[in-house]
């Protein structure tokens, strides 16, 4: 079963945002509509309540609602990967909730503590793994950075660890980790659409796309070019469509989510505002974002 899931995860993960009402409550009706539209396209999976889905602003109860809604909306067209994290106790509780909500796998975020010993890392992931029968995807981002030998020890200690989602962007280290573990894990590029060229060049089998919220053709075209090793085509898509958007996202911390939500609204897709500590797109950046929305419509 786990190996079947690993083999299935080839291409693009859709990464739906979590729509909110103006009062910052969940807009589950909008989420269901957005996920239904997204999963009519050939993504290999979606991630509900992940980083783009503002997992850290959700309560465990809300995250369970988000995942249950996403599972219902996919109509089993593709696997749903659900975000969990915080600490071992809450992460284990969330894992049980996500399994109950119908998720197919778990995306485990780094724990709250930024400098644990290796044994602590293993205990954290093992506690979440032991609480559920679902396979795990480890999200290596921020302080969750590992050497190839450490990844090998993690994989040995946590048999249900099946997917490695890179969020470091260190292509040299990621390639060494892939070489060390081989086909033990599914390798996913997870830092951003703008890093897709580097990820495909070292042989990932999939990458995660927040642009999937505003365009289906662009991330799927990136993955197609990457799978065919057509880097001339891939890099042209990045230059024309991805880098301008990511340059805007770099203008303010937290814009990774806020810009995508604002752009969705400009394109007639309900998204709502982000929750604090994220903030809405500033007025001086909205005209630039509107131009990008027109560019995306024309793709």
- Model confidence pLDDT, tens digit, residues 164-183: 999 999 999 999 999 999 99
Place 153 in a pLDDT band, splitting at 50, 70 and 90.
Answer: very high
Please check whether residue 52 is in contact with residue 17, taking contact to mean a CB–CB distance below 8 angstroms.
Answer: yes
pLDDT for the residue 5: 86
Place 2 in a pLDDT band, splitting at 50, 70 and 90.
Answer: low
Mean pLDDT of 31-41: 98
Q: pTM for the full model?
A: 0.96
Say how far apart CA 34 and CA 53 lie, in whole Å: 12
Say how far apart CA 136 and CA 126 lie, in whole Å: 10
Mean pLDDT of 134-159: 98
Please check whether residue 14 is in contact with residue 220, taking contact to mean a CB–CB distance below 8 angstroms.
Answer: no
Mean pLDDT of 46-50: 98
Place 154 in a pLDDT band, splitting at 50, 70 and 90.
Answer: very high
pLDDT for the residue 192: 95
Place 63 in a pLDDT band, splitting at 50, 70 and 90.
Answer: very high
Place 131 in a pLDDT band, splitting at 50, 70 and 90.
Answer: very high
In the set 124, 165, 207, 296, the catalytic residue is 165
* Active-site residue, 165 included: yes
Domain ranges of the chain: 2-229
Say how far apart CA 262 and CA 240 lie, in whole Å: 20
Nearest to 289, CA basis, from 253, 264, 252, 268: 264
Quickly count: other Cβ atoms within 10 Å of residue 249's Cβ.
Answer: 22
Q: What is the CATH number of domain 2-229?
A: 3.20.20.70
Mean pLDDT of 244-251: 98
* Active-site residue, 139 included: yes
Say how far apart CA 66 and CA 275 lie, in whole Å: 15
Mean pLDDT of 102-113: 98
- Model confidence pLDDT, tens digit, residues 11-29: 999 999 999 999 999 999 9
Q: Is the pLDDT of residue 265 over 60?
A: yes
Percent of the chain at pLDDT exceeding 90: 97
Q: Are strands 136-140 and 206-209 parallel, antiparallel or unpaired?
A: unpaired
Mean pLDDT of 81-93: 98
- Residues with Cβ within 8 Å of residue 298, at least 6 apart in sequence: none
Q: Is the pLDDT of residue 1 over 70?
A: no
In the set 139, 207, 246, 296, the catalytic residue is 139
Average pLDDT, the chain: 97
């Amino acid at each position: 079963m786990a190996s079947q899931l690993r083999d299935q995860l080839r291409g693009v993960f859709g990464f739906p945002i979590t729509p909110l009402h103006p009062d910052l409550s969940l807009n589950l009706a909008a989420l269901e509509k957005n996920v239904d539209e997204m999963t009519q396209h050939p993504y290999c999976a979606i991630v509900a309540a992940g980083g783009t889905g503002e997992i850290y602003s959700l309560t465990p109860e809300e995250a369970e609602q988000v995942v249950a809604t996403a599972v219902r909306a996919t109509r089993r067209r593709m696997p749903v990967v659900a975000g969990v994290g915080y600490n071992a106790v809450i992460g284990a509780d969330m894992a049980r909730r996500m399994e109950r909500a119908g998720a197919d796998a778990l995306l485990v975020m780094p724990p709250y503590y930024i400098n644990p010993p290796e044994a602590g890392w293993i205990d954290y992931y093992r506690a979440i793994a032991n609480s559920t029968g679902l396979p795990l995807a480890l999200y290596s981002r921020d302080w969750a950075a590992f050497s190839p030998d450490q990844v090998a020890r993690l994989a040995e200690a946590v048999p249900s660890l099946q997917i490695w989602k890179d969020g470091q962007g260190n292509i040299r280290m990621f390639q060494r980790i892939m070489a060390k573990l081989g086909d033990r894990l599914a390798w996913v590029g997870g830092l951003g659409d703008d890093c897709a060229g580097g990820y495909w060049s070292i042989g990932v089998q999939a990458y995660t796309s927040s642009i999937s919220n505003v365009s289906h053709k662009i991330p799927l075209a990136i993955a197609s070019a990457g799978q065919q090793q057509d880097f001339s085509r891939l890099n042209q898509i990045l230059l024309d469509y991805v880098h301008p958007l990511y340059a805007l996202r770099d203008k303010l911390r937290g814009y990774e989510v806020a810009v995508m939500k604002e752009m969705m609204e400009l394109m007639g897709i309900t998204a709502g505002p982000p929750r604090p500590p994220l903030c809405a797109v500033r007025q001086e950046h909205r005209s630039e974002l509107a131009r990008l929305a027109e560019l995306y419509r024309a793709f």
